[in-house]
């Protein structure tokens, strides 16, 4: 082997090792700062529909709309760089049809205490689920979980570990790191939707835009393919990550959700 080729191969190998080590360090020590972008809301404790559902002195901010005990409760898991109030704008009209809509701020988002991490997101979503059952009187089968973007991680985890009536996934991913890496290369794999979706037995409704520039459309299709029946997939042609509801049309979007909810009555 020519000497120059040996030098080039050594340099390439050195670069590969440095990239792997860098990815490993990010995965172990900096994943939360890369993955989460907390949003502090404009609202406060006096805002209508605000409820503190925290325990042991730890504030967990929730936002609950509609009937106290509606036909069903839609438990919304919000996306990144938004808060619980922003996340329910497209779902508010469901309250006119007798549904309760509830969302919760992740730790470090909105008015919730703490700093964001994967386990914290699961914890507050589980707390809202318990609150809807214990305080509002919903049966588990009357709670439909709806996750958007990074919120699909918490939504899938809840639906895989607790009895629920349905799961709605909007712009879902296979796992958080795979949005960037496409395949698993990190030592940890936060929000492993691909691993968990097979454990979700309830009916499922997927939405994904074909022009999603944040979470590729292929993520939604692959996750859907791995999910068990019953399931439905709604493709929004030309829909991007944050505008697919508008591209689809709010009435069409809400119509598909109402149709999905009605099937579970």
- Residues noted as catalytic: 149, 212, 241
Dist. CA 213–CA 130, nearest whole Å? 35
Q: What is the pLDDT of residue 40?
A: 77
Q: What is the pLDDT of residue 184?
A: 58
Q: What is the pLDDT of residue 20?
A: 58
Domain covering 39-263: architecture: 3-Layer(aba) Sandwich (3.40)
Maximum pairwise Cα distance, the chain: 77
What are the boundaries of each domain within the chain?
Answer: 1-35, 39-263
Q: SS3 string of 164-226? A: CCEEEEECCCCCCCHHHHCCCCCCCCCCCHHHHHHHCCCCEEEEEECCCCCCCHHHHHHHHHH
Q: What is the pLDDT of residue 21?
A: 54
Each residue's pLDDT tens digit, 148-201: 999 999 999 999 999 999 999 999 999 987 676 665 556 667 899 999 999 999
Beta bridge partner(s), residue 207: 170, 234
Dist. CA 212–CA 183, nearest whole Å? 18
Low-confidence ranges of the chain (pLDDT < 70): 1-3, 5-10, 12-13, 16-34, 178, 180-188, 264-265
Q: Is the dihedral of CA 199, 201, 202, 203 positive or negative?
A: positive
């Amino acid at each position: 082997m020519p000497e120059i080729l040996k030098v080039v191969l050594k340099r390439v190998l050195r670069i590969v090792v440095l990239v792997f080590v860098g990815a490993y360090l990010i995965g172990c020590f900096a994943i939360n700062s890369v993955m989460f972008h907390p949003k502090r809301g404009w609202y406060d404790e006096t805002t209508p529909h605000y409820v503190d559902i925290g325990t042991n002195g730890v504030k967990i901010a929730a936002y609950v709309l509609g009937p106290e005990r509606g036909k069903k409760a839609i438990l919304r898991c919000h996306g990144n760089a938004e808060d619980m109030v922003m996340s329910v704008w497209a779902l508010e009209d469901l309250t006119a049809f007798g549904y309760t809509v509830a969302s919760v701020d992740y730790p470090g988002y909105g008015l919730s205490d703490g700093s964001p991490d994967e386990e914290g997101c699961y914890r507050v979503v589980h707390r809202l689920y318990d609150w809807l059952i214990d305080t509002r009187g919903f049966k588990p089968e009357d709670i439909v979980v709806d996750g958007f973007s990074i919120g699909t991680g918490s939504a899938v985890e809840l639906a895989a570990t607790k009895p629920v009536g349905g799961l709605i996934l909007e712009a879902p991913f296979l796992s958080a790191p795979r949005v960037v890496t496409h395949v698993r290369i990190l030592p940890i794999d936060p929000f492993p939707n691909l691993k968990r979706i097979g454990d979700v037995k309830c009916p499922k409704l997927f939405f994904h835009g074909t022009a999603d520039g944040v979470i590729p459309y292929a993520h939604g299709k692959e996750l859907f393919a791995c999910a068990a029946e019953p399931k439905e997939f709604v493709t929004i042609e030309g829909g991007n990550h944050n505008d697919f509801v508008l591209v689809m049309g709010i009435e069409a979007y809400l119509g598909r959700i109402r149709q999905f909810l009605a099937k579970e009555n």
